[in-house]
Amino acid sequence: GAGVSQTPSNKVTEKGKYVELRCDPISGHTALYWYRQSLGQGPEFLIYFQGTGAADDSGLPNDRFFAVRPEGSVSTLKIQRTERGDSAVYLCASSLGGQHTEAFFGQGTRLTVV
Amino acid sequence: SQQGEEDPQALSIQEGENATMNCSYKTSINNLQWYRQNSGRGLVHLILIRSNEREKHSGRLRVTLDTSKKSSSLLITASRAADTASYFCATVYNSGNTPLVFGKGTRLSVIA
């Protein structure tokens, strides 16, 4: 596609439920990043993929959070037993890979846990 | 966490004035990037400066990098109301295969 696509754009879920957030990166981009952003804050790093493997998952806050990228393209961020504190905008970005490349961001998924 | 820190947190200027935002970081970097975010959700890449570069220009944007002080600045000249947004610096550290790490941002308001 023309850009990074994230679905859904908004998700409201009840506390304790499971959610999946999807990211379609730009075709051919090997690097994929997940961030979450709370109001008035900068994007907080969660996990980074190079191809199919997680190159760095040190930002995942706890074991309720998990992300996959099985074919090196689409990625899914999974959150189990959601808590109200998980409410935020979840951003996905992709890049060609390599350290001197810019990242292209999707419009994010706004997750609200009630 | 390894975050850059932007300064000031908020900046309000008149249209036509220049806006300067600063970013400090903690450890050796491979490159530093500046992004813009409007009140919607997507971030847009503005400029990338490598660790061996000291200054880069792109249109009305000028970025400087001082690796001895671990700091960068973003200058927007002749600002416009449409420049109103949040601006973030993001660093790629030298330690291995690392992702972009963002600061908390500067909220710029340009008043017409």
**Domain coordinates in residue numbering, chain B:** 5-111
Class in CATH terms, B5-111:
mainly beta
Please check whether residue B23 touches A, CB under 8 A: no
Q: What is the mean pLDDT of chain A?
A: 94
Question: Percent of chain A at pLDDT above 70?
Answer: 98
Mean pLDDT value across residues B50-75: 96
| B43, B58 Cβ separation under 8 angstroms | no
Please check whether residue B100 touches A, CB under 8 A: yes
| B89, B74 Cβ separation under 8 angstroms | yes
Nearest to B86 by CA among B43, B56, B31: B43
| B97 vs A23 pLDDT, higher one | A23
Domains and CATH numbers, chain A: 5-98 (2.60.40.10)
Closest CA of chain A from B77, distance in Å: 23
* Separation between Cα atoms, residue B107 and residue B84, nearest integer Å: 8
- Tell me which DSSP letter residue A41 carries: S
Tokens of A94: 């992709």
* Separation between Cα atoms, residue A23 and residue A6, nearest integer Å: 5
* Separation between Cα atoms, residue A97 and residue B7, nearest integer Å: 29
Tokens of B79: 């600002």
Residue B48: its chain A contacts at CB < 8 A?
Answer: 100, 102
| B96, B75 Cβ separation under 8 angstroms | no
Neighbours of A31 (CB within 10 A): 22
Is residue B90 over pLDDT 90? yes
Tokens of B111: 């008043």
Nearest to B74 by CA among B5, B22, B7: B22
Q: What is the mean pLDDT of chain B?
A: 91
Is residue B95 over pLDDT 90? no
Is residue B2 over pLDDT 50? no
Q: Give the closest of A41, A99, A106 to B30, CB-based.
A: A99
| Interchain contact, A100 vs B103, CB within 8 Å | no
| B68, B79 Cβ separation under 8 angstroms | no
| A3, A101 Cβ separation under 8 angstroms | no
| Interchain contact, B102 vs A56, CB within 8 Å | no
* Separation between Cα atoms, residue A96 and residue A104, nearest integer Å: 10
> Quick one: closest CA in B to A56, which residue?
B98
| B29 vs A75 pLDDT, higher one | A75
Mean pLDDT value across residues B56-79: 97
* Separation between Cα atoms, residue A30 and residue A43, nearest integer Å: 21
pLDDT (0 to 100) of residue B94: 72
Say which residue the tokens 């959610």 belong to: A19
* Separation between Cα atoms, residue A85 and residue A101, nearest integer Å: 32
Mean pLDDT value across residues B77-85: 97
Closest CA of chain B from A92, distance in Å: 9
Please check whether residue B29 touches A, CB under 8 A: no
pLDDT (0 to 100) of residue B53: 96
